[in-house]
């Protein structure tokens, strides 16, 4: 195997080579650092690259392998979205507000990965504070889609999805508040999973909307996704929303025999006006599931129509509360106290430190929480959230999972979507899973106009294994995950 081919590996393939001593972690890490140096000028998927730290970690990983103490991810080079705290390494949230912020601690998922011996190559680009669907809202730079550099990679985890698609890391972790893992995974032709809310610790994830945020894997195939989820999931006392006794052997549960399982097709997720080629490819995927022995039935989730409105009341409201801490006094960007009144100083700091989309959402949330509007907007949205969650619970009494498109379109051109409402509609199929706390995955299901299309599978809370099992069986039956982006193929 030639050196350049190492970048094409999956985690499980790299594991075999590392364990057989055909390559060392230092050699593998060097391959990816050189890959980033040559390719990231095209994709801009990284905000920072931690080469020296990565090689130091790789040396420790090689010692673990030498002593037979390795686990799944020992010596595996990866990336973290840049809203996950890393000790001694900048964590910017792609915002001027945190441009020079260096945490004094690791987030729980980073600590778990480091304990296993995973190698941090750097921090991935995102929409500022994870607010966006195109990774064009980053303070530093936009990220390009490896399938077409004129297209967006999706967002907010566009940097992680592009990095995996372009072979700039073996896997990445993203955060998903309303589709921010799954939509970019769909646009970039990779696998992206939002686990059950509370399955993966959020400690050290810089908050956007605390009742919706969830960390999850972005990988090249479903087996890799199961490997990473197994490593990062589990109870954490530092996260008050963490669920106890949830750890499962996700890799061992992957099966190609899924006959007898039941898939529901929610009719509300195939509306008029969505891209016909996307709809066609998802229906072809449904036919493939039928061939695999899965029972298909149509179901209804009537309150799905309200999910977008509910999300854009709850998420901005929680964002307004979470981002109130950035006042230029304690940490982060400051206007340097040039004004006589401290309140004017705070206002100037927030105006200069936050980008337009973040400011928009803070204003929306502040309005929804204000006196006289709280009951009419926020409280009502929470009541409808409960109705949406109950509808899902009822449907999951009859089916094991739901199948839908991940996004209504393929990736669009950079700079094309300037209307905020039009941008928000990109997550119309993914937001309900966050509202209800469901496990949900996006996997490739075909190509339209030279760009990848993703299908989404959702299951009841804590049924993450069902989602992975169905995704794995489909993936192995079709091979769509084997398609490489032009950047990955060296074009």
Annotated catalytic residues are 81, 156, 180
Phi, psi (deg, nearest 5) at residue 9: -65, 155
Cα atoms in the Cβ-side hemisphere of radius 13 Å centred on 25: 29
Cα atoms in the Cβ-side hemisphere of radius 13 Å centred on 332: 22
Query: CA-based angle 295:264:241, to the nearest 5?
Result: 125
Residues 6+ apart with CB under 8 A from 107: 84, 85, 86, 201, 203, 204, 205
Is residue 328 within 8 A of residue 346, CB to CB? The reply is: yes
Is residue 193 within 8 A of residue 164, CB to CB? The reply is: no
What's CA 468's distance to the chain center, in Å? 16
Fill in the DSSP letter of residue 280.
H
Cα separation of 316 and 128, whole Å? Answer: 14
Locate the DSSP E strands across 197-281.
214-219, 262-266
Is residue 66 within 8 A of residue 92, CB to CB? The reply is: no
Cα atoms in the Cβ-side hemisphere of radius 13 Å centred on 113: 32
Beta pairing partners, 457: 403, 441
Token duo for residue 320: 């307004």
**Run of H or E residues at 305:** none
């Amino acid at each position: 195997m030639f050196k350049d081919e190492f970048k094409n590996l999956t985690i499980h393939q790299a594991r075999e080579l590392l364990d057989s001593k055909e390559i060392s972690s230092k050699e593998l890490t060097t391959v990816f650092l050189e890959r980033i140096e040559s390719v990231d000028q095209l994709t801009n998927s990284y905000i920072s690259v931690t080469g020296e730290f990565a090689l130091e970690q790789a040396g420790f990983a090689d010692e673990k392998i030498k002593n037979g103490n390795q686990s799944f991810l020992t010596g595996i080079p990866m990336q973290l979205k840049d809203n996950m705290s890393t000790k001694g390494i900048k964590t910017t949230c792609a915002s001027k507000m945190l441009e020079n912020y260096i945490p004094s601690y690791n987030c729980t998922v980073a600590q778990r990965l480091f304990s296993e011996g995973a190698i941090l190559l750097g921090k991935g680009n995102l929409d500022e504070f994870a607010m966006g669907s195109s990774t064009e809202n980053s303070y530093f730079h936009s990220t390009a889609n490896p399938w077409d550099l004129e297209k967006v990679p999706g967002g907010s985890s566009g940097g992680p999805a592009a990095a995996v698609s372009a072979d700039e890391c073996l896997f990445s972790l993203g955060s998903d508040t309303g589709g921010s893992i799954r939509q970019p995974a769909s646009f970039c032709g990779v696998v992206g999973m939002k686990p059950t809310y509370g399955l993966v610790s959020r400690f050290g994830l810089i908050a956007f909307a605390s009742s919706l945020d969830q960390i999850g894997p972005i990988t090249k195939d479903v087996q890799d996704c199961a490997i990473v989820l197994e490593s990062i999931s589990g109870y954490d006392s530092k996260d008050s929303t963490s669920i106890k006794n949830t750890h499962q052997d996700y890799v061992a549960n992957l099966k190609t025999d899924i006959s007898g399982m039941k898939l529901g097709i929610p009719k509300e997720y195939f509306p008029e006006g969505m891209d016909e080629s996307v709809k066609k490819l998802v229906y072809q995927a449904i036919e493939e599931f039928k061939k695999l022995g899965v029972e298909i039935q149509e179901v209804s989730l009537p309150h799905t129509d309200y999910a977008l409105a509910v999300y854009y009341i709850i998420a901005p409201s929680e964002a307004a509360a979470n981002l109130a801490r950035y006042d230029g006094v304690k940490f982060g960007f400051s206007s340097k106290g040039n004004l006589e009144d401290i309140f004017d100083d705070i206002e100037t700091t927030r105006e200069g430190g936050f980008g337009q989309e973040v400011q928009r959402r803070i204003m929306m949330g502040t309005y929804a929480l204000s006196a006289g509007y709280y009951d009419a907007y926020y409280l009502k949205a929470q009541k409808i959230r409960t109705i949406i969650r109950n509808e899902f619970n009822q449907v999951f009494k009859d089916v094991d999972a739901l199948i839908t498109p991940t996004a209504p379109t393929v990736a669009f051109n950079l700079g094309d979507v300037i209307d905020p409402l039009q941008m928000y509609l990109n997550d119309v199929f993914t937001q309900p899973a966050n509202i209800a706390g469901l496990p949900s995955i996006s996997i490739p299901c075909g190509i339209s106009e030279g760009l990848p299309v993703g299908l989404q599978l959702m299951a009841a809370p804590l049924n993450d294994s069902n989602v992975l099992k169905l995704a794995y069986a489909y993936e192995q039956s079709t091979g769509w995950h084997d398609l490489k982006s032009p950047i990955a193929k060296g074009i």
